[in-house]
């Protein structure tokens, strides 16, 4: 059976009219699908009668000097992956059908959440994410929407938006899927050479140092961050952008781990920007 592919909100809505009495799960993506995405599809398939996957390379979330033009695009392969995963329909809107224009109404989450971590260097990124995710939620109107925990700042911001704007959807965070080396799976990993991928394994390895200390009841943020930095220093090719320990919900920095906390990192290998995180204090 061929997987139905819709390119406009109106087409998708016509399809969903027959399924509104059933539970609908949405997995928003930018394509270049990998095993991390497939884990989201599997979770959505298990929890919903109908699974919709969207593929939209969102221009609003890319800065002027970022990789919008070269971001991996493989629609035919992505369609096959979705079909094999049991996805019910694929939504691949165009920029025009998503209504993106110069005077577009945009969604702005609390600035304190958007300006930290990735938002410190990616001005406007999370505003672009919030706007398109909100549009997708309004178009599909799912019971549940699925996001990877690797993009922890994105996940926290979307949860806040849904709560603050009373959008009737459950936001489901799914665990990060990793390569055997520990490197978090990402569409941008395609940019890395085999050597670069090997070097990038230091990111998760360094986070694990803090996780080990936290398991031994270390709660001082500076000591936990120092353990990460020491391990990062073993790979000189890694260029650190930020390393922060923040509150899991508000994304504000903390000095002491007395509840669940997010240890987040971003940096570059071979010019490719990579992010990762772990949750400590459980």
**pLDDT (tens digit per residue) in 111-137:** 999 999 999 999 999 999 999 999 999
Q: How far is CA 115 from the centre of its chain?
A: 17
Answer whether residue 169 is part of any domain: yes
Q: Kindly state the average pLDDT of the residues 33-39.
A: 97
Stretch 254-280: mean pLDDT, rounded? 97
CB 179 within 8 A of CB 185: yes
Examine the domain organization and report whether 206 and 109 are in the same domain: no
Q: Tell whether the model's pLDDT for residue 239 goes beyond 90.
A: yes
Q: Based on the domain organization, do 134 and 107 belong to the same domain?
A: yes
* Measured distance CA(172)–CA(99) in Å, rounded: 26
Q: Please indicate, yes or no, whether residues 28 and 65 belong to a single structural domain of this protein.
A: yes
**What DSSP string runs through 67-115?**
STTTS---HHHHHHHHHHTT-SEEE---TTTTT--TT-------HHHHS
Which pLDDT band, with edges at 50, 70 and 90, does 1 fall under?
A: low
- Give the model's confidence band at 282: pLDDT under 50 very low, under 70 low, under 90 confident, else very high: low
Mean pLDDT, the chain, whole residue set: 96
Residue 146 and residue 23 in contact, taking contact as beta carbons nearer than 8 Å:
no
| pLDDT tens track for 46-92 | 999 999 999 999 999 998 889 999 999 999 999 999 999 999 999 99
Q: Are residues 124 and 259 in the same domain?
A: no
Range of the structural domain that residue 259 is part of: 187-277
> Does residue 249 belong to any structural domain of this protein?
yes
Q: Are residues 104 and 225 in the same domain?
A: no
Indicate if 65 and 194 belong to the same structural domain: no
Q: What is the pLDDT of residue 281?
A: 86
State the CB neighbour count (10 A cutoff) for residue 260: 12
Q: Are residues 137 and 191 in the same domain?
A: no
Residue 147 is part of a domain; what is its CATH number? 3.40.50.620
Is 137 found in the same domain as 59? Answer: yes
- Here the CATH number for the domain that contains residue 272 is 3.30.1300.10
Residue 113 domain flag: yes
Cβ-based burial of 74 (10 A; exposed 0-12, middle 13-18, buried ≥19)? middle
Catalytic center residues: 37
* pTM for this prediction: 0.96
113 and 144 together in one domain: yes
**Is residue 129 domain-shared with residue 242, that is, in the same domain?**
no
> Does 282 reside within a domain?
no
SS3 228: helix
Residue with tokens 């993009």: 151
Distance of CA 209 to the CA centre of its chain: 23
Domain co-membership, 111 together with 31: yes
Q: What percent of the chain has pLDDT over 90?
A: 96
Domains held by the chain: number? 2
Segment 189-225, tens digit of pLDDT:
999 999 999 999 999 999 999 999 999 999 999 999 9
In a domain, 22, yes or no: yes
Residue 181 lies in a domain: no
Q: What integer is the mean pLDDT of 137-141?
A: 98
With respect to residue 259, please indicate whether it lies within any of the assigned structural domains: yes
Residue at 180 is within a domain: no
Q: Are residues 13 and 138 in the same domain?
A: yes
């Amino acid at each position: 059976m061929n997987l139905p592919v819709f390119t406009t909100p109106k087409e998708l809505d016509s399809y969903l009219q027959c399924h509104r009495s059933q539970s609908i799960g949405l997995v928003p993506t930018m394509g270049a699908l990998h095993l991390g995405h497939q884990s989201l599809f599997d979770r959505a398939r298990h929890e919903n009668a109908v699974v919709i996957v969207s593929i939209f390379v969102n221009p609003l979330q890319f800065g002027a000097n970022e990789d919008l033009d070269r971001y991996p695009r493989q629609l035919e392969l992505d369609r096959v992956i979705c079909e094999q995963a049991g996805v019910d329909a694929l939504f691949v809107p165009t920029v025009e059908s998503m209504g993106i224009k110069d005077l577009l109404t945009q969604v702005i989450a609390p600035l304190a959440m958007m300006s930290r971590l990735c938002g410190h260097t990616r001005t406007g990124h999370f505003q672009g994410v919030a706007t398109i995710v909100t549009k997708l939620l309004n178009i599909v109107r799912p019971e549940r929407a699925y996001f990877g925990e690797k993009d922890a700042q994105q996940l926290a911001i979307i949860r806040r938006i849904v709560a603050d704007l009373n959008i009737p959807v459950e936001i489901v965070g799914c665990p990060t899927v990793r390569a055997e080396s520990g490197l978090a799976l990402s569409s941008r990993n395609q940019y890395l050479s085999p050597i670069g991928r090997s070097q990038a394994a230091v990111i998760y390895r360094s986070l694990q140092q803090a996780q080990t200390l936290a398991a031994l009841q270390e709660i001082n943020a500076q000591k936990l961050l120092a353990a990460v930095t020491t391990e990062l220093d073993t790979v000189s090719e890694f260029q650190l952008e930020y390393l922060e320990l923040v509150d899991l919900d508000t994304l504000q920095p903390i000095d002491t781990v007395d509840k669940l906390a997010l240890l987040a990192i971003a940096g570059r290998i071979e010019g490719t920007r990579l992010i990762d995180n772990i949750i400590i204090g459980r």
